[in-house]
Amino acid sequence: MVASARPEYPRAENVRSSRNFRPIASMVAVGLVVAGIGVATNAVATGVTPVRAGAATAAATYAAVPPAVPVPSAPSLAVVAPVTTGLSPFDSTVLDAINAQRTAAGIAPLIEARGIDARSLSWSNAMATAGSSGTLSHNPQGWQTLLTSGASARTTYGENVSSWTGSPVTGFTLTNALVGNASNKNNILDPSFKYVGIGTVNGAAGSQWDTVTFTDAVDPGQIYDPALKSIPVGQLNSATLVGSTVRVTGWGYDPDTAAGPIQIQLSDTAPDGTVVTTTVTAAAVRTDVPQLTATTGNAHGLDATLPISKRGIHQICATLINAGAGSTNPNLGCLPVEVTGPIGGLDSAVLTGSTISFAGWAVDPDGPTTPTTVTVTDQGPQGTVTLPTVTADQVDANVDTSIPGVGAAHGFLAQTAATTVGTHVLCATANSLAAPARPTALGCQSVTVAAPAGAITGTTNTTNSVTVNGWALDPNAVGTASTVRVQITGPGGPVGTPSVVTASAVGTASAQQFPAAGTAHSFSLTVPTRQFGTYQVCAVANSTVDPSAGTDLGCQQVSISNVLGWLDSVKSTTGGLQVRGWALDPAYPSSAGTVSITVTGQAGTRTFQATAAQSRPDVARAFPGVGNYHGVVTSVPASGSGSNTVCLSMKAMSNQTVRQYRCLVVLVP
């Protein structure tokens, strides 16, 4: 039977002044250009020249316990689904629409064939790429190409072609438009046609091109097994270790019960070969799965949590349970999950005075309800010290919240003395029940035991003493007065043994750096001296936590001046020698000092005493504040005639140090 090669709907196939498609009105597609052809055995449709062609191709306090992360992060497995069609979703609706027309007319539905699908798709692509904007035409080699398209035994065939642009066209509106043309309708409702292939492609400027090929016979293996459409479809996405459980995600649905949830069988094969099987319902909402459509709904997600134990790699497997026709239960495959041992964390470490408190949690999946022991090391200035083992059996509600099923009694709290100044790094490991030689590191926390603080704020002196002032405190124990070791070194070496003074006097010097520590952290120390010269004053603040540690507060220098004075002149007078000069002790500026006058001559050496109490305004001007009365004016006997050497000296009032000013020589007649 032969249909018209180029029927017009609404115009002849080769006259397409308008290819814009508007919404359907009265079930007629306006602007939709279609054409149909039917060919009987050994007959050729008008205008179609059959030629042989090759086969077509297709296109320190407990912290919040964070949720566990995949261990390891498990990849999605491939979607397990039987191949039931070669058609696109649009072409599938075209087939549904054609078979609806045939069913309504009492004609058996057409069966999709693989090779004819590819042949139709190839021709639609040829139309879409012909010329600058595509050309609607029948395949001139259509009859022959069926030979290599899986229909070598065909005795008849037909072809409908169409194209459109603009508003979307559905499979049903396209089919209704085709049925409106007699030749196209004849092909759709021809009872001799048993098989069909459909292919639609996109062309230039938003155009679409469709080819429907009909025939009466196809080669073996060309049709899809209808029973495959009843086999469930799904995917295993991930298997995540969460504490002592494994969370399994995926999706699945059964085409026979697409709107309802499917049962999925999960199995856990432990390292020792033990298998635990659980059946769950896949009813979680999954909006990210392309295979879940409006027809199936999206409530087909798998999200199940199973208990897991035993060290090593577990295989988590999933199988879809067929609820409709057929008995095939597709296996979605398996994902590995490794149970690596205890989990937990060292949440905090806090220094209070001379005590370090630390807290954390630990759970061993090999015994999730059994308290785990924890080993903590203190890596500080003293080296690495292993602290006594603690048991994680304290209540930490964060654990039970984040790792359901293990209970809250997995926290640990403990303390250790901070006996050395410096940074202490506390590290914790959870001991494994199953593998004691393989503990799990829980992390580290650091605290710093501060060194004492302080400063020398000043030094003062007299001719017989040095005074040092300053402040000191231990930040680790601000309520306890610190001690300060003071060493004074003079011209002759250390002045006595180092002095230890307590910094407990009230002062404001420490408040700027430690405003919350109070003001009772000052000290003052006076040390007697016996020599004039430069003294160095040094101080070290002692730690109340670590007796071996101290903070150097630095050193300051102070100079103690000698007694002052001068021998101005010596004159030979009748009856003796007249001596003039001045002398004062800076430590006693208002007191008149006693001077010694030594005369050496032919008669030997003789020493005389005198008081430096005569008026000397010039001395008062040179040394403000000492007063006028430090002058020496006196007469002493000569030591025979001839040359006499006269020397003036003074002894300090405080330390008995003697200073000789100078000597003068005078001739006595």
| Reported confidence tier of residue 60, pLDDT bands at 50, 70, 90 | low
CB-based contacts of 168, cutoff 8 Å, min separation 6: none
pLDDT(456) > 90? yes
- This prediction has a pTM of 0.46
Tell me what pLDDT residue 68 has: 42
pLDDT(445) > 70? yes
Tell me what pLDDT residue 81 has: 62
Euclidean distance between CA atoms 289 and 310, whole angstroms:
34
Choose between 472 and 364: higher pLDDT.
472
User: In the chain, what is the straight-line distance between the N-terminal and C-terminal CA atoms, in Å?
Assistant: 175
| Reported confidence tier of residue 382, pLDDT bands at 50, 70, 90 | confident
Euclidean distance between CA atoms 486 and 488, whole angstroms:
7
Q: Which two tokens stand for residue 276?
A: 């635990």
| Reported confidence tier of residue 75, pLDDT bands at 50, 70, 90 | low
Range 147-170 average pLDDT: 91
450 sits in the region (left: phi over 0; alpha: psi -120 to 50; else beta) called beta
Which segment of 5-19, 339-353, 398-412, 650-664 scores lowest on mean pLDDT? 5-19
Which segment of 260-269, 532-541, 594-603 scores lowest on mean pLDDT? 532-541
| Reported confidence tier of residue 461, pLDDT bands at 50, 70, 90 | confident
How far is residue 588 from each of residues 132, 459, 546, 628, 630, measured CA to CA in Å?
A: 120, 19, 45, 14, 11
CB-based contacts of 621, cutoff 8 Å, min separation 6: none
Q: For residues 390, 412, 391 and 371, what is the CA-based torsion angle, rounded to 10 degrees?
A: -160
Half-sphere exposure of 412 (CA within 13 A, CB side): 26
pLDDT(198) > 50? yes
Range 630-654 average pLDDT: 93
Tell me what pLDDT residue 307 has: 87
What residue type is 27 in one-letter code?
Answer: M
Tell me what pLDDT residue 57 has: 25
Which segment of 158-172, 230-244, 269-283 scores lowest on mean pLDDT? 230-244
With beta carbons less than 8 A apart as the criterion, state whether 551 and 587 touch.
Answer: no
CB-based contacts of 214, cutoff 8 Å, min separation 6: 38, 110, 157, 158, 159, 160, 187, 190, 193, 195, 196
Tell me what pLDDT residue 83 has: 66
Which segment of 51-55, 179-183, 403-407 scores lowest on mean pLDDT? 51-55
With beta carbons less than 8 A apart as the criterion, state whether 116 and 213 touch.
Answer: yes
Tell me what pLDDT residue 668 has: 94
pLDDT(635) > 90? yes
Mean of pLDDT over the chain: 83
Euclidean distance between CA atoms 599 and 588, whole angstroms:
27
DSSP 116: H
Tell me what pLDDT residue 53 has: 24
Tell me what pLDDT residue 18 has: 24
Tell me what pLDDT residue 56 has: 27
- Where does residue 211 rank: exposed (0-12), middle (13-18), buried (19+ CB within 10 A)? buried
Nearest to 364 by CA among 278, 438, 291, 302: 438
Choose between 257 and 198: higher pLDDT.
198
- At 14-56, the pLDDT tens digits run 222 222 222 222 222 223 444 554 433 322 222 222 222 222 2
pLDDT(73) > 50? no
Range 400-426 average pLDDT: 86
Nearest to 647 by CA among 575, 598, 577: 598
Euclidean distance between CA atoms 161 and 139, whole angstroms:
9
Helical (H) or strand (E) element with 121: helix 114-129
Pick the most confident of 239-243, 302-306, 586-590. Answer: 302-306
Range 297-309 average pLDDT: 89
Question: What percent of the chain has a predicted confidence (pLDDT) above 90?
Answer: 50
What residue type is 370 in one-letter code?
Answer: T
Question: What percent of the chain has a predicted confidence (pLDDT) above 70?
Answer: 87
Tell me what pLDDT residue 364 has: 84
Euclidean distance between CA atoms 10 and 667, whole angstroms:
157
pLDDT(336) > 80? yes
Euclidean distance between CA atoms 588 and 629, whole angstroms:
12
- At 517-563, the pLDDT tens digits run 888 999 999 998 877 788 999 999 998 888 888 899 999 998 877 78
Tell me what pLDDT residue 6 has: 29
With beta carbons less than 8 A apart as the criterion, state whether 285 and 301 touch.
Answer: yes
Domains of the chain: 89-227 (3.40.33.10), 230-339 (2.60.40.10), 343-445 (2.60.40.10), 453-560 (2.60.40.10), 564-668 (2.60.40.10)
Tell me what pLDDT residue 455 has: 94
- At 486-506, the pLDDT tens digits run 999 988 889 888 889 999 999
Euclidean distance between CA atoms 650 and 620, whole angstroms:
18
How far is residue 321 from each of residues 278, 396, 468, measured CA to CA in Å?
A: 12, 41, 91
Tell me what pLDDT residue 62 has: 62
> Helices (H) and strands (E) in the chain — how many of each?
7, 38
Range 332-355 average pLDDT: 87
